[in-house]
Amino acid sequence: MPATILCIGMAGSGKTTFVQRLNAHLHERGRAPYLINLDPAVLQVPFGCNIDIRDSINYKKVMENYNLGPNGAIVTSLNLFATKIDQVLQIMNKRSSDFEHCIVDTPGQIECFVWSASGAILTEAFATEFPTIIAYIIDTPRSSSPTTFMSNMLYACSILYKLKLPMIVVFNKTDIRKHEFAKEWMTDFEKFQESLRDNTELNDETSNGSGYMASLINSMSLMLEEFYSTLDVVGVSSYTGEGFEEFMECVEHKVDEYNEYYLKERDRIVEEKKEKERREKEKQLTHLMKDLGIKEKEKEKEKEKKGVDVEVISDIEEEIEKDEANGYEHGLIDLESSEREYTFQDDRKGEIREGKEGVSGIQKRYQEAFESNAKSANSDIAEDIARYIKGNSK
């Protein structure tokens, strides 16, 4: 699979010139890359784009139609382009056999891409289909002071943990100033402290490097020490072409790192997201079924399918036939041969069978029992009344 290189950096760091020189470097070695421009506000690009956001989105029209400023129009343009990212990936997949690297140039306003929803969607889309690497471009001459250097490193750290992709820190414009001082600051904390004390921007005549800003930067450098150990640092010159061979070696190393570590982590995150969505859907469906009152009906249907509660006569007859075939007695009463007698004929017409006494004999016995009980009850009442009258007369 071709590797995708996302070129990200602050405005003026030389991203577009870096992409131009990298394109020329790969063409010289017969490995022409696939180029994508995601900066809708740029007037001209010094390289031929295979896919250009400006071909489908008019930046000035976006500003006019939505009444936006420059940064808002960039974000909106990226949002519109993100809706067609599936078509971009289809084109890239069809032509993936023709190139080994895809280079993506992003807008100069770094926050418009990295911390926007469209930037996250585009990055996720590339990272899902291809091994994706972040090339963070730094203006080396402007990073010669500890404050600017630390700002760049904090940006790099936040981008790494935001995008969760392999990163290469590229110190550009090394033809103006070499990047060895930056590598030394990243590996030797004492050297950074020494430069911090000597920096006139942070220290006045009496502080000697112990001011608030110096203390803050000193603490941040200690915090970023572990972050430095995971970075690949390369110095390049987009003007002379120096260092690009080393950069491509780092790209190959980061592709292996992506396949070994980052791809597994991304798959795990995707699976967790799917599982979370599945549980949420089940929860909503459960609430819906409860509201509609069909949950119990579904349970009854499942029981009938599984044969848990046999309530159908046909099912009982099948069970009886199976038992009789296996030589077992089913234990049910034969309704035709059993002797049943009901008390009240009117309630069970035609169901009282005539035995030895017949129907009239049964009724006669119940009538005699009723009359004898009535006589005994009346005599008891009469005796009670007589005793009462006798007692009152005295």
Q: How confident is the model at residue 59 (pLDDT cuts 50, 70, 90)?
A: very high
What is the C-alpha to C-alpha distance for residues 94 and 78, in angstroms, rounded to an integer?
23
Q: How confident is the model at residue 291 (pLDDT cuts 50, 70, 90)?
A: low
Per the structure block, which two tokens stand in for 214?
A: 């110096």
Per the structure block, which two tokens stand in for 171?
A: 């110190």
pLDDT single digits (tens) 332-365: 444 445 455 544 444 444 444 444 455 556 666 6
pLDDT for the residue 239: 92
Grouping H, G, I as helix, E, B as strand and the rest as coil, residue 7 is: strand
CB distance 106 to 6 below 8 Å: yes
Per the structure block, which two tokens stand in for 272?
A: 């967790």
pLDDT single digits (tens) 323-332: 666 665 555 4
DSSP code string of 68-137 = --HHHHHHHHHHHHHTTHHHHHHHHHHTGGG-SEEEEEPPSSHHHHHTSHHHHHHHHHHHHHS-EEEEEE
β-sheet with 3-9: strand ranges across: 51-52, 34-37, 101-105, 3-9, 132-139, 167-172, 232-235
Contacts of 5 (CB under 8 A, 6+ apart): 22, 101, 102, 103, 104, 132, 133, 135, 251
Q: How confident is the model at residue 285 (pLDDT cuts 50, 70, 90)?
A: confident
Would you kindly state where each structural domain of the chain is located, as residue ranges? 3-202+216-268
180-187 vs 189-198: helix crossing angle, rounded to 10: 120
Q: How confident is the model at residue 318 (pLDDT cuts 50, 70, 90)?
A: low
Per the structure block, which two tokens stand in for 305?
A: 């399918």
pLDDT for the residue 79: 94
| Yes or no: domain 3-202+216-268 corresponds to CATH 3.40.50.300 | yes
**232 DSSP β-pair partners:** 168
Grouping H, G, I as helix, E, B as strand and the rest as coil, residue 229 is: helix
pLDDT for the residue 54: 94
CB distance 337 to 353 below 8 Å: no
DSSP code string of 316-333 = HHHHHHHHHHTT------
